[in-house]
Amino acid sequence: MGILGRIRERAAAAIPPEEATATGAVPDEAALAGDAAGAGRFARMGALAVPDFRALWLGSLVSNVGTWMQQIGSGWLVLQLTDSPFWLGMVAFAAALPILAFSLPAGVLADRVDRRRLLLGTQALAGTLALTLALLTGFGVVRIWFILAITLLSGTVMAFHMPTWQAMLPDLVGKDRLMNAVGLNSAAFNGAAVVGPALAGVILGTFGPAACFALNAASYLAVIAALLTIRAHSVGRAEGEQASVLESVGAGLGFIRSRRLVLAFFALAAIVSLAARPYLQLLPVFARDVLGGDARLYGTLMAANGVGALAGALLTAAFARVPRKGLVLLGSVATFAIGLIAFALIPRVPVALALLVLVGGATTLFMSATNTVIQSLAPDDVRGRVLSVWSMIAAGVMPLGSLLLGGLASLTGRVTYVIVGGAGVALLAALVIGVLARDPRRDTGGHEESHGVERVPA
């Protein structure tokens, strides 16, 4: 059994069944089973057998299609307004700044309040901002500064949404179905990454970006409706703490620092997010200036990336049954780096589409499986705070890379930034793995055995 399998088993076994329900880690029997007919139909899909999770999953699938449509429309609109890869990076940075600033206190809030109500608020605000952008664009008064401002506000909403959404998963499905739930959530997001960009490419060419923004605003209603149907007992609410926000944040960071393997996973995810994942934000430039295409080609490239990401997400849903998990994760990082470099060096549309499928799959498999391991290891009382750090890395660090690599693209050419990103991932990931391999048994917190971190074959 690989190292990640041992981690998952021990993390799940760390909570006795009689205590799990009380802490909110595992929903009660009725919540997990739902009506007999519904559970039977979805039993083979793991977490989808839970009615509350199923409703949220379907709602998020609809909303994610809208989110991808807005991302495509926004990227193309910025390029039309500014004709500069630097401004594409700047918009991505505006989305990241509030995530970097507010994710940690958002994690504290997610551990203290009713997560369902907090998510209702974030979805309503996000829909309002998307509608505002649609109206500004539709009336022809949109400017790059308006886009930056709305992006900044949307990033603030996302800073509170992401750790709360992830922290609620174990409340709904229990830790035994957590890996399946994370994989299904990723599949919903990346399945929408196939449909959303493909639709956006057509809608952009026919109706313009305002239609993409308006459809995204409407899509948030699906998640709001799903949240309103969730039964209260299925949504865990952590006990309130008397500690200050800074002390609470320190407790979450302390857990990460004290677990060497967790810290290594965070480091690898940060490297991938900073050095290479920004290729998505800068893909409009590549589509137009390197491949000589238009908005439809841009949408097609994003859809190809989404096909690969969907495949990676489906693999994650079945990841618990995969042997030698550590080797699979390291292989996904190597595949991502090599595929990205090849994408830059072979500027042909069919090759680019094939390589984006490969890169998208490798990225999603690595990020989703790593997220699952971290969720399994995090104790219930600090889960929101630990996942807020994950949100900073997964969503906050990537746009910083977009800003840096966007500037590099403006100075050195449209292809150089992709090569630099891919090579950076390969070198820095090798460095992290080398440091970890020097002393794989070491646990700085001195609690290695209690959290199941031990030396086993990858």
Rounded to 5°, the CA angle 31-36-37 comes to 125
| Contact (Cβ atoms closer than 8 angstroms) between residue 276 and residue 385 | no
Q: Give the pair of three-digit tokens for residue 446.
A: 């001195």
Spatial distance between the Cα atoms of 163 and 108, rounded to a whole number of angstroms: 9
In the predicted model, is pLDDT for residue 25 greater than 70? no
Note the pLDDT of residue 330. Answer: 76
Q: Mean per-residue pLDDT for 408-431?
A: 65
Spatial distance between the Cα atoms of 153 and 98, rounded to a whole number of angstroms: 8
pLDDT digits (tens, 9 = 90+) for 368-389: 777 777 777 777 767 777 877 8
Query: Other C-beta atoms within 10 Å of 434: how many?
Result: 9
Note the pLDDT of residue 88. Answer: 80
Note the pLDDT of residue 252. Answer: 73
Which amino acid is located at 307 in the chain? V
Residue with the two structure tokens 């989305």: 95
CATH superfamily label, 3-17+47-451: MFS general substrate transporter like domains (1.20.1250.20)
Rounded to 5°, the CA angle 434-437-443 comes to 125
Residue ranges of domains in the chain: 3-17+47-451
| Contact (Cβ atoms closer than 8 angstroms) between residue 88 and residue 281 | yes
In the predicted model, is pLDDT for residue 344 greater than 70? yes
pLDDT band at residue 409, thresholds of 50, 70 and 90?
low
Burial of 91 from C-beta contacts in 10 A (0-12 / 13-18 / 19+):
buried
Note the pLDDT of residue 449. Answer: 36
Note the pLDDT of residue 44. Answer: 54
Q: Mean per-residue pLDDT for 63-68?
A: 93
**Dihedral sign (CA 29, 31, 37, 39):** negative
Spatial distance between the Cα atoms of 422 and 206, rounded to a whole number of angstroms: 35
Closest CA to 143 of 80, 95, 206, 85: 80
Q: Mean per-residue pLDDT for 400-426?
A: 65
**20 Cβ neighbours under 8 A, 6+ residues apart:** 26, 174, 175
pLDDT digits (tens, 9 = 90+) for 163-179: 888 888 877 887 778 77
Q: How many residues does the chain have?
A: 458
Residue with the two structure tokens 């709360």: 164
Spatial distance between the Cα atoms of 64 and 188, rounded to a whole number of angstroms: 7
Note the pLDDT of residue 443. Answer: 46
| Contact (Cβ atoms closer than 8 angstroms) between residue 344 and residue 139 | no
Q: Mean per-residue pLDDT for 247-263?
A: 74
Q: What is the mean pLDDT of the chain?
A: 75
Q: Give the pair of three-digit tokens for residue 111.
A: 């551990």
H helices present in 14-84, as ranges: 17-23, 29-33, 36-42, 51-82
**317 Cβ neighbours under 8 A, 6+ residues apart:** 46, 179, 180, 182, 183, 184, 186, 187
Note the pLDDT of residue 245. Answer: 61
Spatial distance between the Cα atoms of 232 and 431, rounded to a whole number of angstroms: 46
pLDDT digits (tens, 9 = 90+) for 273-300: 776 666 777 788 788 888 888 878 888 8
Spatial distance between the Cα atoms of 24 and 172, rounded to a whole number of angstroms: 9
